Amino acid sequence: MRARARSNLRIFFIGGYIAYKALFNWMHPSYYLPTMLGAPLFQILFFAYIGRYTGLKDDAFFVVGNAVQLSAMAGIYGMAMTIGGERWTQTLSQLLATPASRLALFLGRSLPLIVNGMVTSVFAFAVGWWLLDFSLALENIPTLAAIVAVSAVACTAFGLLVGAIGLRARDVFFLANLAVFSLLLMCGVNIPLDAFPGWMEAISRVLPLTHGIEAAREVAAGASFADVDHLFWTELGIGAGYAALAYGLFRFFEADGRRRATLETM
């Protein structure tokens, strides 16, 4: 029992770290800096300037919305590519032939992505503070960090779902892009939820990020954790729901892929 737990922990930490290094070139500055830091910088400026032009909201609205949303990018693309990349390099069958716990395997891969998402988010907040009209009280930073972390976790779980669908779908990268852009549209990142028709708002309420962004905006405006704890727990619950759904779907598609011998069909 203890040996199994140790093996799972090894797969979780070491396997996750190696997969992160192997599957993504993000560790290399020439890829990491433009993609994970450069693009987010301009994304925030782009939406903040539209906000200024339209008179929709102040800079803080866009800085917080985009900074939290950017924590999703690594989780969704990363988890989708974890599975899509294995298919692409024809290593998925070998991976799934191992007796390794699937939970430890894929949760381990998600950990570096959550940290990665948080780094991007911190950078985005710093950009907002440096270049735009945004400030944050020091005492609010720990609560905000917790909200960003839980949002990154929820988005990574959503990414795992995209990756699980990628076991069956032909183009997981298309799905991952679609997921990221849909979250950007639907989760109140740049548009107040009350500007949406009712059905869009209802969908946004079951997506990751929506509650995290709402909580982060309130905290940035001075609210305490007690004021937003219901949003925090809802975000975590949504993340847990997506993780469970992703795991179930993954096991189902894995079993189905074995039966039909279609695991690596591109």
Partner 1 sequence: MAVLRLIWAGWRFHVKSLTLSGFFLLTSSVQPILFATMAYFMFRAGSNEQSLLYVALGSGLMGIWSSTLFGSGGAISWQRWQGTLEVSIAAPAPFVLVLIPITLATATIGLYSLTATLLWGKLFFDVPFEIAHPLLFALSIPATILGLGMLGLVLAASFILYRNANALSNLLEFPVWLVTGLLVPLSLFPGWVRPISWVLAPTWGVRAIRDSALGEGAPLAAIGMCLALAACYFVIGTVLIGHFERLARERATLSLT
Cα 29 → chain centroid: 21
18-53 in b/e form (b: 16+ CB < 10 A) is: ebbeebbebeeeeebeebbbeebbebbbebbeebee
Query: Is residue 191 near partner 1 by the rule CB under 8 A?
Result: yes
Which is closer to partner 1, CB of 25 or CB of 135? 25
Using CB under 8 A, which of the segments 37-45, 101-109, 114-122, 147-155 binds partner 1?
37-45
Show the site string, 60-99: x = touches partner 1 by CB under 8 A, - = not: ----------------------------------------
Query: Is residue 184 near partner 1 by the rule CB under 8 A?
Result: yes
Tell me how far, at minimum, the Cβ of 84 lies from partner 1, in Å: 12
Tokens of 62: 């866009």
Among residues 11, 19, 43, 219, the one that binds partner 1 under rule CB under 8 A: 43
Which is closer to partner 1, CB of 81 or CB of 150? 81
Query: Is residue 129 near partner 1 by the rule CB under 8 A?
Result: no
Tokens of 202: 């209802």
Handedness of CA 5, 150, 83, 81 (dihedral sign): negative
Which is closer to partner 1, CB of 137 or CB of 195? 195
Query: Is residue 190 near partner 1 by the rule CB under 8 A?
Result: yes
Cα distance between residue 6 and residue 144, in whole Å:
33
Query: Is residue 185 near partner 1 by the rule CB under 8 A?
Result: yes
Using CB under 8 A, which of the segments 8-16, 177-185, 214-222, 256-264 binds partner 1?
177-185
Q: Which residues bind partner 1 (CB under 8 A)?
A: 25, 28, 30-31, 33-35, 38-39, 42-43, 45-46, 49-56, 170-171, 173-174, 177-178, 181-182, 184-185, 190-192, 195-196
